């Protein structure tokens, strides 16, 4: 260790890049000629939000932006702070401007945790230049930050670090003699480095934290694959948030894999969600939706199988229920696809909401009472079962003053092939009757 116990700082904190040249990753933002790189190099401050997974460099970038512009850096956590703390930071920024005539960057960690009124508290001070707002969030700013604040900032999307980037960061942590573990003389095998970088799952902070733990436990001068495996605990680490972006991105990937008839990919995303802690019943409900939205009458058995899987999960729990859901996922992915009912439903709902309320035609009304019969309810109704082929050719079932429309257009897949053929035959009978 390069620090006394009383002044201990974690390796991940000590190894924060001091300059932009030391920063690893995010080439799409910081590569030569990229807008953020140019803005930092020129000292051009502007309010911004860094959106990305944990450990991808959001806080470090905020500090580098501040130092490049020779500004004061104030930090506030949305988890611990509120309007009172915001006002105190604004007062400090004003005093700093009066004394030094320099800008202040107010860095807000976990910015998505501030509510609307707290976010609104920043607006006038961003507007008049008292502060440059720099926020960090792991959640989608479009959903978590209000429009007034979003309109005053530029959003930069940071990507999880790749395995090669993490391996480079780990080696720096091992070799740096001043801030890292260079004075310890430790080395790491290629296999251990690959395992450590992979287990961090794009998170540099986690990679360095695991490295520091492994270094403390190393019996010799080399970090081996076996030792790293013990530190990781075998389970590794995968990003997932039951209510965050990863959750909705993965359920979207599962749904699209089923829709795209890719059973293996669908199983993969199903397993990823379970591994991340997702409630299997949530997935079961979504699978029922897939059965109706993307398969429909091309294979009506899909809906029944999805409902059976849901019921199995409720009755048996894990892991038996999850296997039933997996069975449904694979079946739905392999089934013929049709969104004809989904499209028809949306189209008719749009017409109904945009129209008036025409009455039910007299011949389609029930007449359970004598008065209703005297008023003609049900008169001239043609009972389909009494007609040839149980079809009343030429009969109209729409309101009298509404032009009949075709909402449902069966596809040429699965059972809908036969449905389309039958409907075409019935429509031909209608034409012959007219």
**What is the distance between the alpha carbons of residues 207 and 311, in angstroms, rounded to a whole number?**
41
Is residue 36 a contact partner of residue 68, using CB atoms and an 8 Å limit?
Answer: no
**What is the distance between the alpha carbons of residues 324 and 270, in angstroms, rounded to a whole number?**
12
Q: Give the pLDDT of residue 3.
A: 43
**What is the distance between the alpha carbons of residues 415 and 429, in angstroms, rounded to a whole number?**
22
Reading phi first (left if > 0) and then psi (alpha if -120 to 50, else beta), residue 335 is in: beta
- The length of the chain, given as a count of residues: 434
Q: Give the pLDDT of residue 318.
A: 87
Of the candidates 273, 271, 268, 265, which has an alpha carbon nearest to the alpha carbon of residue 249? 273
Strand partners for 134: 48, 107
Residues 6+ apart with CB under 8 A from 105: 45, 62, 65, 66, 69, 71, 72, 73, 74, 131, 132, 134
Q: Give the pLDDT of residue 144.
A: 85
Q: Give the pLDDT of residue 5.
A: 46
**What is the distance between the alpha carbons of residues 368 and 96, in angstroms, rounded to a whole number?**
84
**What is the distance between the alpha carbons of residues 268 and 260, in angstroms, rounded to a whole number?**
14
Is residue 265 a contact partner of residue 310, using CB atoms and an 8 Å limit?
Answer: no
Is residue 270 a contact partner of residue 312, using CB atoms and an 8 Å limit?
Answer: no
Q: Give the pLDDT of residue 235.
A: 47
Residue by residue, pLDDT tens for the chain (434 residues) are: 444 445 678 999 999 998 888 899 999 999 888 888 888 888 788 999 999 888 899 999 988 888 888 889 999 988 888 888 899 999 999 999 999 998 999 999 989 888 888 899 999 999 999 999 999 998 888 888 899 999 999 999 999 899 999 999 999 999 999 999 988 888 999 999 999 998 888 899 999 999 999 998 888 888 998 898 888 875 455 555 555 667 788 999 999 999 999 999 999 999 999 988 888 999 999 999 999 999 999 999 999 999 999 999 999 988 899 999 999 999 999 999 999 999 999 999 999 998 888 899 999 999 888 898 888 898 989 999 999 989 999 899 999 888 899 999 999 999 999 999 999 999 999 898 86
**What is the distance between the alpha carbons of residues 97 and 423, in angstroms, rounded to a whole number?**
77
The number of beta carbons lying within 10 Å of the beta carbon of residue 5 is 6
**What is the distance between the alpha carbons of residues 25 and 276, in angstroms, rounded to a whole number?**
26
Which letter, b or e, does each residue of 217-230 get, where b requires 16 or more Cβ atoms within 10 Å of its Cβ?
ebeeeebbbebbbe
User: For every residue of 17-43, which 3-state class applies, written as one string?
Assistant: CCCHHHCCCCHHHHCCCCHHHHHHHCC
The number of beta carbons lying within 10 Å of the beta carbon of residue 214 is 22
Is residue 226 a contact partner of residue 188, using CB atoms and an 8 Å limit?
Answer: no
Q: Give the pLDDT of residue 2.
A: 46
Is residue 292 a contact partner of residue 300, using CB atoms and an 8 Å limit?
Answer: no
Q: Is 406 helix (H, G, I), strand (E, B) or coil?
A: coil
**What is the distance between the alpha carbons of residues 80 and 113, in angstroms, rounded to a whole number?**
10
Of the candidates 297, 276, 406, which has an alpha carbon nearest to the alpha carbon of residue 351? 406
């Amino acid at each position: 260790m390069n620090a006394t116990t009383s002044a201990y700082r974690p390796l991940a904190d000590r190894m924060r890049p001091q300059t932009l040249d030391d920063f690893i990753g995010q080439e799409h933002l910081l590569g030569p000629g990229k807008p953020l790189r140019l803005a930092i190099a020129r000292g051009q401050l502007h309010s911004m939000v860094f959106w990305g997974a944990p450990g991808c460099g959001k806080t470090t970038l905020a500090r580098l932006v501040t130092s490049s512009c020779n500004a004061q850096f104030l930090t506030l956590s949305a988890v611990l702070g509120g309007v009172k703390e915001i006002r105190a930071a604004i007062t400090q920024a004003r005093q700093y401007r009066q004394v030094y005539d320099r800008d202040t960057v107010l860095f807000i960690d976990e910015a998505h945790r501030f509510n609307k009124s707290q976010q609104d508290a920043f607006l006038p001070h961003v507007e008049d230049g008292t502060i440059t707002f720099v926020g960090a969030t792991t959640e989608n700013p479009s959903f978590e930050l209000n429009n007034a604040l979003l309109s005053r900032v530029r959003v930069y999307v940071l990507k999880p670090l790749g395995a090669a980037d993490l391996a480079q960061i780990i080696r720096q942590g091992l070799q740096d003699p001043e801030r890292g573990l260079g004075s310890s003389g430790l080395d790491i095998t290629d296999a251990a480095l690959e395992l450590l970088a992979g287990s961090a799952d794009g998170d540099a902070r986690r990679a360095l934290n695991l490295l520091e733990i492994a270094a403390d436990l190393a019996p010799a001068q080399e970090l081996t694959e076996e030792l790293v495996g013990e530190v990781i605990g075998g389970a590794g680490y995968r990003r997932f948030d039951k209510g965050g972006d990863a959750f909705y991105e993965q359920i979207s990937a599962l749904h699209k894999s089923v829709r795209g008839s890719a059973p293996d990919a669908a199983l993969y995303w199903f397993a990823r969600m379970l591994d991340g802690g997702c409630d299997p019943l949530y997935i079961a409900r979504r699978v029922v939706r897939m059965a109706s939205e993307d398969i429909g009458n091309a294979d009506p058995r899909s809906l029944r199988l999805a409902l059976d899987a849901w019921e199995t999960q409720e009755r048996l729990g894990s892991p038996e229920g999850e296997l039933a859901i997996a069975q449904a996922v694979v079946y739905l992915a392999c089934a013929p696809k049709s969104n004809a009912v989904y499209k028809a439903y949306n189209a008719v709902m749009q017409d109904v909401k945009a129209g008036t309320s025409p009455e039910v035609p007299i011949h389609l009304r029930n007449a359970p009472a004598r008065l209703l019969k005297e008023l003609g309810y049900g008169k001239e109704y043609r009972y389909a079962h009494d007609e040839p082929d149980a079809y009343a050719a030429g009969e109209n079932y729409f309101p009298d003053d509404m032009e009949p429309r075709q909402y449902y257009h069966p596809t040429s897949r699965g059972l809908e092939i036969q449905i389309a053929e039958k409907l075409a035959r019935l429509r031909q009978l209608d034409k012959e009757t007219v």
